[in-house]
Structure 1
Amino acid sequence: MSNKDEVFLATTALEEFWDTSKPLLFMGEWCNRFSRRAFWETLEYSFLPNPWSSLDKINAGNQYLNKVYEDILEIVGSKLNIIHGVDRSKRYWRIVLGVWLFHYAANVYDKFLRLKSITEIYPQYTTILLSEKDYIIPSDTEDFVVRIINDTYNLQIISRMLKLEGKILPERGIASPEKRQIPQVNNSLSKSIKMLWYKLLDGKANNGMYMQSSYFSKSDEFRLKVRFKSKLALGFDEQLPMDELVTNLTMRAELSDMKIDTEDEFVRILVKLIPQDIPFCFLEGYQTLYLASKKKFRKYSNVKAIFSGTSWYFDETFKIWAADAREKGVALLGGQHGGMYGINANLHQEDYELSIVDKYFTWGWDREGFNNKIIPMAALKLNDIKDLQADNQLKDILFVSNIWPRYFLRFTPILPHEVSTYIEWQIRFAAGLDKNIRDALHIRGYINDFGWEYADRWSDAKLEVIMDSWEIPFRKRLEQCRLVICDNTATTFLEVLASNKPTILFWDFETHYIRPEAMPFFDELIRVGILYKTPESAAHTVNQIYFDIESWWNNPELQKVRSRFCERFARVGPLREWIYEFSKVIAG
């Protein structure tokens, strides 16, 4: 295709929005569903250039996005203060809407770069937009995330962007448009049991601490409650019901009157998009949620500290209450709740959590510049983990993989354009195993494959591996296997190493960017034969060690390196360490 050709930009995997009579230009790998390759492989097509093709571009993009996020947060927060008649700090609005704002901005920025490149390469391009009658505004942060990982909402954002550019393009409706998801009361049996449990652990926490979604085990929560009695109250994430909301055009018009003096083309577009797409919970529904948060948390009016691992993300009433409490001087405490923290470069969730809390408990690592905030501790999630050790009597090899959304949300170890290669590496590993060993291989993919059709890709490889079921809890499955394989830096590999279960790791160091201060610990894993840089070398080692896993895993030098690594990134320790830290917080 020459740059004078009229090409058609395929923006999503929704094929009814493609015009196959023209050469297709796919906006990204998310357009190409694996199950439909027999169709799209027969077409004339190419891909837009990928804006994240090198570490330098990723670092620059991350730095730029962080700056834009900070600038826009200031502007949006100030405008929301006026709209809602309040005077809240930037930190308040960071807690309340920061998760949505960053991920929305990141998604739009990725689209902005791709649309800019097609305008430069194929100025005569055409595409089909989503009809405005099918546009939808998310209810809250969770509803936004559910939508942004799927096709229709991404098509909506692209359509808005192209209209802002003044493009006159054909539009089309969706045959079965999605409806906005309104948070409803959950009356399930499991919810009722959970409510009874936390009612037992509740209290006013006068001059004490409130804890929610902590990642402590139930037994540890109970022990903490017994120790601190009325000084500790424990709760859980709960999406309060929100009535059907009608778009308030006056409110959104007022928000659109954001003044920003900049020549930055992306920022100008983002400022125009935010008033159209900001979730209802921050605008039309804010007052309702604010009153609901006051009612729900009114008994905790005299707490000294609020602690959570994950409620900072999707529990809107908790976020409003915690942000309001911080304005009044209550300390906010956060805790690491998974892998990649302290390990991967450009990890937004780590930066975000550090930015909103006063103290942050990690699984053993620290970070330059945060000495007064970070407290290395025993891992919350690993406090009750068993020491499983090696066992030659077991058979199964459990390969625990991960997957990431098809659309760009933030810089993750695997970006959308890298997912197919990531899965191919897994298949290369399986192909490298001796047949009698491969027969023991069980593949445990992520519970949601985000439309990558993970199981179909394995089936297409014709290696006759067993797809593991999520019906058996991971900890139980861990006890049943002889060896665990991990190919990413998410939570699982830390959990497995902490359990002392024989482990082989491998991943592409060109995508899993390890931060410099963490790399010496990974170099040691490489040295003793736990971590590998190619799937073939990992498979070769499995072929050598499988029939006497005990001798390999119990090697003193290997165990020393494993223990040292876990002390830094997956520390296991007694609950009394937490009791000591919480006692200091409560004592003030």
Structure 2
Amino acid sequence: MTAPDINPRLYLSRLDDDYDASRDVVCSLSCFTGFEDRFDDWQSLEFRDPFPTIEAVEEASEAIRKFNAHWINSHAGALNNRHGTDYSRGFWYMMVTPWLSELLQYAWSMYRLLDAVVADHHDRPLSVRVWQGEHDWNFSCGTDFYSRGMYHQLFDWWLRSRILGVIAPNSWRLIGASPTAAEIEDNLRFAATASYNVSGPRQLVRRIRESLAFTLINGARISAIPLALFANLLPKKDAPPIEPTAWLEDDFDPRTVFPQAFLDVLETTIEETTPLYLRDGFTPLIARAKQTRFVKGRVRFGTFDYGNTQERAQAALGLEAGEKLVQVQHGGVYAMLRAYMSPGENEYFGHAFLTWGWTDNQNYPGRRYIPAPSPLLSSYANTHRFRDRSLVIVTTAFWTGLQRIYSGPRSSRVIAWRDQKVSFVKALKPDIIKETIYRPFKVIRPNIGELDNEYFIKRVCPNLRILKGDLHGPMFRCRLLVLDHPGTTLNIAMAANVPTICLWDDDTWALSSNAKPIFDAMRDCNMFFASPEAAADFINTNWDTIEKWWSSPAVRDARAKFCHEFARTRRLWWLDWLSVLRKI
């Protein structure tokens, strides 16, 4: 009979009803998702960050970039041998990076976090429930890897168990356990397949896109077709080869950057998570993609979804055939943060990247960034009208996961950042609170690492109105919009001329060299605050004259600078695009 476990426990993943805050250890804030109302004191706990400073975030981002390029350089030959092909490194970069770069960010973040937990508690006799045995994940495509892997608690537990197995001190007791049938079933419930068999209008749209060599462009679902026809009629110029890993020094050795224990567990993790499309599913994937017509010198453009393996296979084969790859910005945040490697690794490496205004990126210098008016933002240009007295607060997700390395909210800051919303609302005058509408970030799927935004605000501000459904209508007629993040909503608001105040501090969102002077100008005219109390004080004082403030010369100039860099619009935006495509 097994003796009862009397040691305090270390929780690697989600909590259970036996959690005892007085003795147990929780490795990360994400363990509390889904249990926020079950335990009272968790908000006062201190959580470690894998990278505690913005400089550490930048250093980690650069290290992962190098490892990603190194792995592709050193494995392209083996991949070609396995599949009987002779594709370039550019081809394999296009196919491998959406999976590998995301896995690397997550694994390195998790290793650093658990290593810190070990350092803090190595002398305590902790018990840890770890995943026992093998598991064949069989991720079918990029989307499946994200859905069942990166953003599912079962994979979270599996990866943390793998890492802890190589760094746990001898004083800890690792208790082997297997996932339940219900847990596995829940994971499989989110399975995504690389389906090629669609019918009806979707099949027609896909065939048009494939034949004309373009993909989804945000805000231009129909108008992209004549653009693509134009691109197909352009003279076909030779395209220079794409070498996205050529910047890496030949003698780069991961052992000089990462500890050997991490490299050991990473090697097996890569083997066990390699998606089927890079294994047995590669041949049928390429056979299907080769049904596409490729034209040497033609421009293939659009937003090539990280998870859409079929689209990326077509783009990669297009590169091999001498086509020009032009990717297109599809949302906000781009070039605004000091560190944000996911778009840099997956989108910036083609023959050109069409931006919403910016022409340089501090993390990825030397690329061909071409500014062009955004079709999406152009559809909203100057649509705001002062039609009511509402103050609309729009928040992003209270994210606790460690999937990506970027200069956004870190675990140690999430609770304080969330509490800022309460401080802001409570500092407003009562009559303004009556006009306030709170828009929580919509939880797409429960328990993937988000704290419940709506539940939280209802509990602490029960009389605050919650906005559900359409956001743009209320936003385009409000008196004032307040944002806690530099996401796509900010770009839309600036394009639409919505009176806007940004509210966050440098420790929460560290801005890039592109963005900092823009936001400095916004701060100077009260469009940007770090303190919730200061923002509320400005609103309380100027509530009845918001329209006058928003139309002041300083505010108009700050907004114009923002739009020039991050939100260019034009009614006939496609004229600019015709000119751009002609020059590529």
Q: TM-score band (shorter)?
A: 0.7 to 0.9
Aligned CA distance change for structure 1 residues 288 and 228 (closer, same or farther; 3 Å): closer
The superposition leaves residues 311-344 of structure 1 with CA deviations (integer Å, 9 ceiling, x where unpaired) of 2411101111211221232111011112121211
Aligned CA distance change for structure 1 residues 211 and 39 (closer, same or farther; 3 Å): same
- Output the amino acid matched with 1:170: G
Partner of 1:264: 260
Partner of 1:421: 416
Give runs of aligned pairs for residues 56-95 of structure 1, distance below 5 A.
Answer: 56-95=55-94
Residue of 515, 527, 530 corresponding to 1:530: 527
Report the alpha carbon displacement of residue 95 of structure 1 after superposing the two structures with TM.
0.9
Partner of 1:241: none
Report the alpha carbon displacement of residue 381 of structure 1 after superposing the two structures with TM.
2.3
Partner of 2:286: 290
- Do the aligned partners of 1:49 and 1:117 also contact (CA within 8 Å) in 2? yes
Pair 1:183 & 2:193 matched: yes
Q: SS state of the match for residue 393, structure 2?
A: strand
Name the stretch that deviates more: 272-281 or 371-380. 371-380
Residue of 205, 215, 220 corresponding to 2:218: 215
Pair 1:343 & 2:336 matched: yes
Give runs of aligned pairs for residues 484-523 of structure 1, distance below 5 A.
Answer: 484-523=481-520
Name the stretch that deviates more: 125-134 or 268-277. 125-134
Give runs of aligned pairs for residues 164-313 of structure 1, distance below 5 A.
Answer: 169-176=175-182, 177-178=184-185, 179-180=187-188, 181-183=191-193, 185=195, 192-196=200-204, 204-205=211-212, 210-218=213-221, 220-221=223-224, 224=227, 264-295=260-291, 297=292, 299-301=293-295, 304-309=298-303, 311-313=304-306
Report the alpha carbon displacement of residue 58 of structure 1 after superposing the two structures with TM.
1.7
Aligned partners of 2:454 and 2:367: how far apart in 1?
46
Report the alpha carbon displacement of residue 355 of structure 1 after superposing the two structures with TM.
4.5
Gaps of 5+ in 1: 233-258
Report the alpha carbon displacement of residue 152 of structure 1 after superposing the two structures with TM.
1.2
Partner of 1:454: 453
Report the alpha carbon displacement of residue 305 of structure 1 after superposing the two structures with TM.
1.6
Aligned CA distance change for structure 1 residues 568 and 118 (closer, same or farther; 3 Å): closer
The superposition leaves residues 98-117 of structure 1 with CA deviations (integer Å, 9 ceiling, x where unpaired) of 02111111111122122223
Aligned partners of 2:400 and 2:194: how far apart in 1?
28
- Do the aligned partners of 2:232 and 2:299 also contact (CA within 8 Å) in 1? no
Partner of 1:251: none
The superposition leaves residues 507-533 of structure 1 with CA deviations (integer Å, 9 ceiling, x where unpaired) of 111121112343111111011111111
Partner of 2:3: none
Give runs of aligned pairs for residues 91-106 of structure 1, distance below 5 A.
Answer: 91-106=90-105
Aligned partners of 1:550 and 1:219: how far apart in 2?
36
Give runs of aligned pairs for residues 426-445 of structure 1, distance below 5 A.
Answer: 426-445=421-440
The structure whose RCO (Cα within 8 Å, separation 6+) is larger is: 2
Partner of 2:156: 154
Report the alpha carbon displacement of residue 353 of structure 1 after superposing the two structures with TM.
3.9
Aligned partners of 1:104 and 1:330: how far apart in 2?
29
The superposition leaves residues 351-403 of structure 1 with CA deviations (integer Å, 9 ceiling, x where unpaired) of 21454311111111121674561112212421222313452x41222212111
Q: SS state of the match for residue 385, structure 1?
A: coil
Partner of 2:12: 11
Residue of 541, 546, 558 corresponding to 2:543: 546
Report the alpha carbon displacement of residue 554 of structure 1 after superposing the two structures with TM.
1.1
- Do the aligned partners of 1:204 and 1:231 also contact (CA within 8 Å) in 2? no
The superposition leaves residues 562-586 of structure 1 with CA deviations (integer Å, 9 ceiling, x where unpaired) of 112211111112321111112234x
Quote the RMSD (CA, aligned, Å): 3.1
Partner of 1:112: 111
TM-score of the two chains, using structure 2 as the length reference: 0.84
Report the alpha carbon displacement of residue 34 of structure 1 after superposing the two structures with TM.
6.1
TM-score of the two chains, using structure 1 as the length reference: 0.83
- Do the aligned partners of 2:137 and 2:272 also contact (CA within 8 Å) in 1? no
Aligned partners of 2:254 and 2:359: how far apart in 1?
37
Residue of 397, 402, 420 corresponding to 1:403: 397
The superposition leaves residues 78-125 of structure 1 with CA deviations (integer Å, 9 ceiling, x where unpaired) of 332222222223222221120211111111112212222333343343
Report the alpha carbon displacement of residue 32 of structure 1 after superposing the two structures with TM.
1.4
Q: SS state of the match for residue 314, structure 1?
A: coil
Aligned partners of 1:269 and 1:202: how far apart in 2?
41
Aligned partners of 1:42 and 1:361: how far apart in 2?
44
- Do the aligned partners of 2:143 and 2:192 also contact (CA within 8 Å) in 1? no
Report the alpha carbon displacement of residue 196 of structure 1 after superposing the two structures with TM.
4.7
Aligned partners of 2:211 and 2:119: how far apart in 1?
61
Percentage of identical aligned residues: 18
- Do the aligned partners of 2:384 and 2:477 also contact (CA within 8 Å) in 1? no
- Do the aligned partners of 2:36 and 2:451 also contact (CA within 8 Å) in 1? no
The superposition leaves residues 450-495 of structure 1 with CA deviations (integer Å, 9 ceiling, x where unpaired) of 441111101111341121113x2x4333333222111111111111
Aligned CA distance change for structure 1 residues 203 and 361 (closer, same or farther; 3 Å): closer
- Output the amino acid matched with 2:317: D
- Output the amino acid matched with 2:49: N
Aligned partners of 2:528 and 2:269: how far apart in 1?
44
Aligned CA distance change for structure 1 residues 349 and 182 (closer, same or farther; 3 Å): closer
- Do the aligned partners of 2:327 and 2:348 also contact (CA within 8 Å) in 1? no
- Do the aligned partners of 1:35 and 1:456 also contact (CA within 8 Å) in 2? no
- Do the aligned partners of 1:28 and 1:417 also contact (CA within 8 Å) in 2? no
- Output the amino acid matched with 1:379: S
> How many corresponding residue pairs?
540
- Output the amino acid matched with 1:218: R
Name the stretch that deviates more: 318-327 or 353-362. 353-362
Partner of 2:31: 31
Q: SS state of the match for residue 170, structure 1?
A: strand
Name the stretch that deviates more: 123-132 or 572-581. 123-132
